[in-house]
Structure 1
């Protein structure tokens, strides 16, 4: 009994030393780059997240309480329900971890994320939403906050003990605390190239595609299927045609701003019809062929604003296209989708609708039946989702249908290596509209497309459309790429617990010093008794 004070002191000392030895560093930091969710105004409508500053503790989406916390999710975790719940609880922010290899994500998880992504992009929120590519440090943080959430099902005693002794907290901090600013100086660039026919007053065929991409975060939107595939086929169509004499004028158009109500197409049409003294769009336009999302699928839909009338150029071309499919690729489903333009709506669904509004007949070719398909705007639309055989097949179908219509002969020369290199080049950088005239690598991409046009087409023009700063069609915002610091710290409860242990230890030492004579006598007597 007389050894209890000293024994307790030694045990407590060992406990404190053990805690110090097993605890993680009190403060360690890791800096990474995250990309903010889309933020733009289209006319009077506002989209995306309007917040950027984050100073909050990281928590798993499985936690019951998310108020003033930064919610960490993987792509597989992200759903509209969890996003809405984070908003309802006034979460400080959401950080989504994007895998380096998109093909590693299960197919059903990809589809689920794309649906949630498209629904999220239609909402406006003050809560900052960031996306960061996965790495070892971020995955470690994700696993630890997920394990912490799992302990919520344990008893209260276990939870409190873990929180005080073993738990590690992660503090997420956005370094840049400057206010978000609007940018109205973005340029939308449209490239135009022409091959004139051999006869005067020849009818004109317009072949168009938009080259920009769209997704939850502009910096992570590569748009492989939508619409690098359409751009690749358009450039491939110019290759065999440029060296042939034809009775048609051919006008090729690569437009910017396609993901934002086809603003580049709208401005280009206005410039040709309302401001140019002479333009091929003024004269005899046979039809407009728009190419959109053609890098996958065994379906080929022709989207029209009004059904083509018999014996018209557009109907003749559609018949040629159907004959090519039935004779060479009978397993491909071909369909005509008729959708009237709703003049009440402020946005259009397909590029050909911009021409239809100016009474120019046209249609869009796509493997998608629904214009609102989530595949048309997703971060997960990468090269891993492209089927090169189907992209080449669709290119052959369109090229041969055009050759039959214009020359009455078959032309199907499309090289695998060429479409592969074009697709790799187009998806080498994100092609979000707000980046294309700001970053050197993005400017180089547009310049390279212009160079491709000049190789095969004549009368190549580059149209640069600036916003009216007093009444812009679209307004973007800055701070889309942010440096973020993750601090790894012990929770405040651990400091209280450790302080209590130290206070108890010092109390025992103080007691031992004050009663040293009494303790010494007792210990000496105990030792003598043991020897006897």
Structure 2
């Protein structure tokens, strides 16, 4: 049903409501009206006396095209060296479905929001001391309008390229996170198979090394420049000749769960999400330090023989379960539709507040291009029980018959009384 609503246009207003105590009685009345098992007489009587419902939108507003600018949230961890390359972590924070006002998008992409915040919390301590500070700048970007052809990613790329002309900042790789909170393999989506020497190729090897008990898969898909919508967020970077990949548990970008009302908190497995966060953090740390990939020896990246392929940079409790659960409750349980400026503003403020605990954080406005976003995603609907129009005709007919009988009795009452008196006198005489 959701897919049908997403793909079909209708001039009728369609409302979706959470289940309340009044809904069962309304449904019962509607079902009884359409009962085909009753006799023809019963159906006729029911059609005359049954309740019907009239729905009225209480907070009716004109649905106009929105012209506001949502914000990207950007947190930075700097190496202190101007020439250091940059690794970007990217996740869009809006949700969408056929009925965006009630779509919470817990896994797509609430899990991406949570994963970026937890990665920031895990990696920020390494930048506190010069002795542990990697020679890489890290940028964490929560983008707006991801469900609208990745508008926030496009804006971030424009801003980054404009700034890089002045400060020579180089993007080593952008790691986009999308739907990473479920059970199953972790897949790296790329526009083409990365070479072994590239950042994406090295990252893929380190992801596999960091997860011996979990399947890490590579999925390649060429960018269709003629398509109206891009499949994954990394494609925004690739078309601008910037290296990027997307990490997701999904096999394809067109899976229904990415835009579904059924993407609720129950779809997020906390342990799987924490496992994916740890794998990504270990892989990125190993790439930045750099640590060995194949154990100690001639081919080892590390000169310390104590460092082997199974060496872990993170402690057992580096990924904080209570913190992750808190982020899920805060960011993956409420609708975040771009068509709702208030909800979008609130979630952006909350993400920025959480990120500022660990890094310098700024917000950048996003110009919505190529798309038009219509407002009004929520309203109050009043359901009133009313009788059918034919019931009013029946009542009017009964009243008219009653008035006619009453008029007839009144108009004939004097003659009836006189005749009755005459009859009584004759009987007495």
Instruction: Give me the TM-score of the superposition, normalised by structure 2.
Output: 0.83
The match for 2:382 is: 485
Shift in alpha-carbon separation, 1:430–1:344, aligned structure 2, 3 A? same
SS in 2 for 1:130: coil
Shift in alpha-carbon separation, 1:177–1:366, aligned structure 2, 3 A? closer
Structure 1 position 156 matched with structure 2 position 40:
yes
1:65-120 Cα deviation digits (max 9, x unpaired): xxxxxxxxxxxxxxxxxxxxxxxxxxxxxxxxxxxxxxxxxxxxxxxxxxx31342
Structure 1 position 455 matched with structure 2 position 357:
yes
The match for 1:169 is: 52
Gaps of 5+ in 1: 1-115, 525-532
Q: 2:265·2:333 contact (CA, 8 Å) conserved in 1?
A: no
Shift in alpha-carbon separation, 1:451–1:511, aligned structure 2, 3 A? closer
Instruction: Give the Cα–Cα distance (whole angstroms) in 2 for the partners of residues 491 and 119 of structure 1.
Output: 31
Instruction: Give the Cα–Cα distance (whole angstroms) in 2 for the partners of residues 382 and 268 of structure 1.
Output: 29
1:378-424 Cα deviation digits (max 9, x unpaired): 22222122211111111122122222222334215111110000111
Instruction: Give the Cα–Cα distance (whole angstroms) in 1 for the partners of residues 54 and 351 of structure 2.
Output: 44
2:284 to 389, 394, 402: 402
The match for 1:288 is: 174
The match for 2:66 is: 183
Cα RMSD after superposing both structures: 2.6
Q: Offset of 1:428 from its aligned partner?
A: 4.8
Q: Offset of 1:321 from its aligned partner?
A: 0.6
1:475 to 354, 364, 372: 372
Q: Offset of 1:286 from its aligned partner?
A: 2.6
Q: Offset of 1:463 from its aligned partner?
A: 0.9
The match for 2:194 is: 308
The match for 2:314 is: 411
Structure 1 position 271 matched with structure 2 position 155:
no
Q: 1:224·1:383 contact (CA, 8 Å) conserved in 2?
A: yes
Q: 1:296·1:367 contact (CA, 8 Å) conserved in 2?
A: yes
Shift in alpha-carbon separation, 1:260–1:519, aligned structure 2, 3 A? farther
Matches within 5 A, 1:257-406: 257-274=145-162, 277-278=165-166, 282-283=169-170, 285-326=171-212, 330=213, 332-406=214-288
Instruction: Give the Cα–Cα distance (whole angstroms) in 1 for the partners of residues 5 and 139 of structure 2.
Output: 37
SS in 2 for 1:242: helix
SS in 2 for 1:447: helix
Shift in alpha-carbon separation, 1:294–1:341, aligned structure 2, 3 A? same
Instruction: Give the Cα–Cα distance (whole angstroms) in 2 for the partners of residues 138 and 210 of structure 1.
Output: 35
The match for 1:126 is: 11
Instruction: Give the Cα–Cα distance (whole angstroms) in 1 for the partners of residues 182 and 274 of structure 2.
Output: 10
SS in 1 for 2:357: helix
Instruction: Figure out how many residues of one structure are paired with residues of the other and give that number.
Output: 390
The match for 1:36 is: none
Shift in alpha-carbon separation, 1:133–1:519, aligned structure 2, 3 A? farther
Q: 1:288·1:362 contact (CA, 8 Å) conserved in 2?
A: yes
Shift in alpha-carbon separation, 1:501–1:238, aligned structure 2, 3 A? same
Instruction: Give the Cα–Cα distance (whole angstroms) in 2 for the partners of residues 300 and 293 of structure 1.
Output: 10
1:256 to 144, 163, 173: 144
Structure 1 position 443 matched with structure 2 position 345:
yes
2:92 to 210, 216, 227: 210
Instruction: Give the Cα–Cα distance (whole angstroms) in 1 for the partners of residues 236 and 403 of structure 2.
Output: 80
Instruction: Give the Cα–Cα distance (whole angstroms) in 1 for the partners of residues 346 and 386 of structure 2.
Output: 44
Instruction: Give the Cα–Cα distance (whole angstroms) in 2 for the partners of residues 519 and 191 of structure 1.
Output: 98
Q: Offset of 1:457 from its aligned partner?
A: 2.0
Q: Offset of 1:240 from its aligned partner?
A: 2.3
Q: Offset of 1:461 from its aligned partner?
A: 2.7
The match for 1:497 is: 394
SS in 2 for 1:482: coil
SS in 2 for 1:254: strand
SS in 2 for 1:322: helix
The match for 2:298 is: none
Q: 1:403·1:411 contact (CA, 8 Å) conserved in 2?
A: no
SS in 2 for 1:246: coil
Q: Which has the higher strand share?
A: 1
Instruction: Give the Cα–Cα distance (whole angstroms) in 2 for the partners of residues 143 and 187 of structure 1.
Output: 45
Instruction: Give the Cα–Cα distance (whole angstroms) in 2 for the partners of residues 299 and 519 of structure 1.
Output: 102
Gaps of 5+ in 2: 127-132, 292-311, 425-429
Instruction: Give me the TM-score of the superposition, normalised by structure 1.
Output: 0.68
1:117-170 Cα deviation digits (max 9, x unpaired): 1342233322212222222223321221111111x3433322111222x31111
Shift in alpha-carbon separation, 1:511–1:403, aligned structure 2, 3 A? same
